[in-house]
Amino acid sequence: MKIIKPVLAFVVASVCSLTVWGQNSPVMPVGSVTNASIEGQQVTLTTDQNAHIRVSVYSPTVVRVRMDKQPLTDDFSYAVIAKPQQMKASITQNNTDITITTDSLTARISKNPFAVAFFTKAGKVINQDEQGLTTSWIGEEVTTYKHMQEGERFIGLGEKTGGLDRRGSGFTNWNTDAFGYRTGQDPLYTTIPFYIGIHSGVNYGIFFDNSYQSDFNFGASNDRFSSFGAQGGEMDYYFIYHTKVADIIRSYTDLTGRMDMPPLWSLGYQQNRYSYYPETEVFRIAQTLREKKIPADGITLDIHYMDAYKLFTWDKNRFGDPMAMNKKLKDMGFKTTVIVDPGIKVEEGYGAYERGLKEDVFIKYVDGKNYSGQVWPGWTHFPDFTSPKGRDWWKKEIKFFSDTGVDGFWNDMNEIATWGQKMPNNVLFDYDGHTTTHKEGHNVYGMQMARASYEGARQHNPNKRTFLLSRAGYSGSQRYTAIWTGDNRSEDDHMLLGIRLMNSMGVSGVAFSAMDIGGFTGNPSVGLYARWIQLGAFTPYFRNHTAVNTKSSEPWAYGEEVTEIARNFISLRYKLLPYIYSNFYQASQTGEPLMRTLAIDYTHDPNVYKGEFDSQYQFGKAFLIMPFESGKNYGKVYFPKGKWYNMFTGQVEQGGQEKIIGIEYNKLPIYIKESSIIPMQSLVQHTGQKPTDTLTVHVYKGDVRNSFVYYEDDGDTYNYEKGGYYKRTISYDPKRSTLTFDKAEGSYKSNFNNIKVVMHGFGGSKVKVNGKSQQANKDFASFLDPISRFDPQGDANPREGYEVQSLVVKNDSDKFTIKL
């Protein structure tokens, strides 16, 4: 067989390397297999170094490897919710190795010493342990070393700074309150120990499920291996193999879960500040947004809404009647999100504190005394969110906000953040009945806080979607919350870093992400703010936010021209909500993100990893977004394979080329991929307003087949879980030059009675609908109207665009085909 030769070489080299390990080495190797048993889809092994190992087939494309110095007992994870699939896997062994074969891959386990290698069905190496190192322990620290393949690249790990390709870098996972972080700082707020390796035409994923401080090395300070390890706990990883990166993301989110459909309002523009108070200031902001015709759906209240920073309180002087305020905001089309920090002030008579003491929910030292740390309110206790009792207490407490008309919870300071940034390791966490220390509980704390908030919101409003945002998290947090990139800076390099951070989170299972538009710390220049808000329109959660000691950062704070730029791009986002919402549906089904690094679809194109291009990304599969620093008049871009339409002019660029383009102050460079299908609606000022009853579907002529799953529901309830949705697949066939709308699925009635099909690049005036000829109309494609360019006299130029053809048809739920 083709796979035998490389495996034998691997085994021989591994045997020869055994002599390196000394009897008294401080590094304990995993050792050689002394006993191996096969049961169903699982292999159980022990070694001469008393290592205990279990290798199980989770699915045809996922293999799990567990090992520890202790016998493997309880199998517990906050991240993994999937169970192994019952399937047929061939597992055989001889004196030297064990072979696991599925319909997708082959795993070969060497016995002397223990080592694992993964191969394609054709015998090509996908990933293998580094010969002579494999897995070992230094005290309680456990690390697995992988052979670094020639030309291998690494992407993922979630919220990590640096370039798209992680090769040559090392990273640490320890959730950290990283105020005003540097562009190369590590670690940041969130832990996602999942990465994707790419080399020689293959790609694979590795998810290391261990919540201790973990370290990943992709050839940093060595030219031999990549590695992943943790300061304690098991070596427990899932190996995932697919030919496409999108399918690796799908399998990873099969394991760790996917997001619910978000409330529709959370996809609109959000106006935040640290802080808006008193309520008259909140109303001033809301009213100004409406007066200036800047669409918006949300206003966020930071810590100054509380009484002396005490959670589950309102400052009665600043917010005398929060229920009435929130109702008035709702009447204006705004939803209110409030910040919630985990720390509960130690103060006699403070309700939350007294109730927490009574129900014994706070994290404790090993001697039973409640742990106290200083945060905004002063000395505080912290609920143990890894305890069912602690989560249940929190669920009851957050009813306080539901009762005052709050629609969103912003979980902050949940790394855990305390003044001094040195929470003691000898405090205990329940860890759902697996009592442990801060060392293991730290990285999951923010995730479990978000979980308690999510479950509490659903408990109090069972059929209403509540928006959740979190700063800290762990793998699987996407089941509960969106995540944003924390306290960034008002600098060009932070704007571009934020793009890469969100792209990395998208490839790591977090489809709903955000950065603070304009930067949190400092004051952006007019040009930087203008560019940043243009980019913000093409991010999953569109959040404008700035710190307490900065100048105002609402769009009108930067002058009339920037106000117009902001209005144009925010308005464009609202027109694109049918496209955006449909892409969120895709994320809820497959884990594929709305914000897509080019490495997802152009994985083996080396140009997408170059530093000059690695901030480019796709927004869905249709849009190619090209971020640039403010103040640039020209820039180099890369067009991947295919044809790309300039969104503003309709001009076509051929893919596979680098090009210098002009950069306009008022327009972000945006291109649309050939064969794309983009549903849009008329402009609304908030998602509570109904658009006109015509859905506009743009289709771009191309040479490749394409389909788009269009999706609607009520945007507010969980009725979609019971079939309350409207879904249909729209397909473009270039050979037949047809656009087909499949029969609609679901019990929800579409919001649109008519469909206007806008044809880009087709020409001609005759089309056929279900075989009947119809006259196409001349139309004008203008995505920004009016375009924000002002001459010295202050007069706006006429709208920009180009001629296209269009056709209006009734939105019949039955299948129909248009011959273009």
Q: How confident is the model at residue 383 (pLDDT cuts 50, 70, 90)?
A: very high
Q: Is 73 in contact with 60 (CB distance < 8 Å)?
A: no
Asked if 232 contacts 141 with a C-beta cutoff of 8 angstroms, the reply is yes
Phi, psi for 102 (deg, rounded to 5): -120, -175
pLDDT of 274 > 90? The answer is yes
CATH superfamily entry for domain 4-252: glycosyl hydrolase (family 31) (2.60.40.1760)
Strand partners, 136: 29, 143
Instruction: Say which DSSP state 86 is in.
Output: P
Going by C-beta distance under 8 Å and a sequence separation of 6 or more, which residues neighbour residue 582?
679, 708, 709, 710, 711
What confidence tier does 340 reach under pLDDT thresholds 50, 70, 90? very high
pLDDT at 167: 98
What pLDDT is attached to residue 21?
60
What does the DSSP 8-state code read for residue 720?
A: G
Q: What residues pair up with 246 in beta bridges, in sequence order?
A: none
Q: For residue 581, what pLDDT is reported?
A: 98
In 3D space, the residue among 324, 341, 334 whose CA is nearest the CA of residue 288 turns out to be 334
State pLDDT tens for residues 612-655: 999 999 999 999 999 999 999 999 999 999 999 999 999 999 99
Residue 566 has pLDDT above 60, yes or no: yes
Annotated catalytic sites, by residue?
Answer: 412, 415, 487
Q: What is the pLDDT of residues 85-106, one digit of tens each?
A: 998 899 999 999 999 999 999 9
For residue 784, what pLDDT is reported? 86
Residue 5 pLDDT > 90, yes or no?
Answer: no
- With bands split at pLDDT 50, 70 and 90, how would you rate the model's confidence at 799? low
Give how far Cα 528 sits from Cα of 168, 461, 489, 534, 618, Å. Answer: 31, 40, 12, 10, 21
In this prediction, residue 800 carries a pLDDT of: 76
For residues 786 and 477, the model is more confident at: 477
Whole-number pLDDT of residue 162: 97
Residue 765: the pLDDT is 77
The rounded mean pLDDT for the chain is 95
Q: What is the mean pLDDT of residues 652-666?
A: 96
Q: What percent of the chain has pLDDT over 90?
A: 93
Residue 431 Cα distances to 64, 145, 386, 438, 541, angstroms: 22, 29, 5, 10, 31
Dump pLDDT digits (tens) for 341-375. 999 999 999 999 999 999 999 999 999 999 999 99
At 15 the pLDDT is: 43
On the question of pLDDT at 14 being above 80, the answer is no
Cα 407 to Cα 269, 453, 457, distances in angstroms:
15, 12, 9
**Three-class secondary structure assignment of 189-244:** CEECCEEEEEECCEEEEEEECCCCCEEEEECCCCCCEEEEEECCCCEEEEEEEECC
**What is the band of 20 on the pLDDT scale with cuts at 50, 70, 90?**
low
pLDDT at 789: 43
Question: For 518-536, what is each residue's pLDDT tens digit?
Answer: 999 999 999 999 999 999 9
Distance (Å, whole) CA 369 – CA 677: 60
Q: Which two tokens stand for residue 148?
A: 């670094």
SS3 651: coil
591-617 pLDDT tens trace: 999 999 999 999 999 999 999 999 999
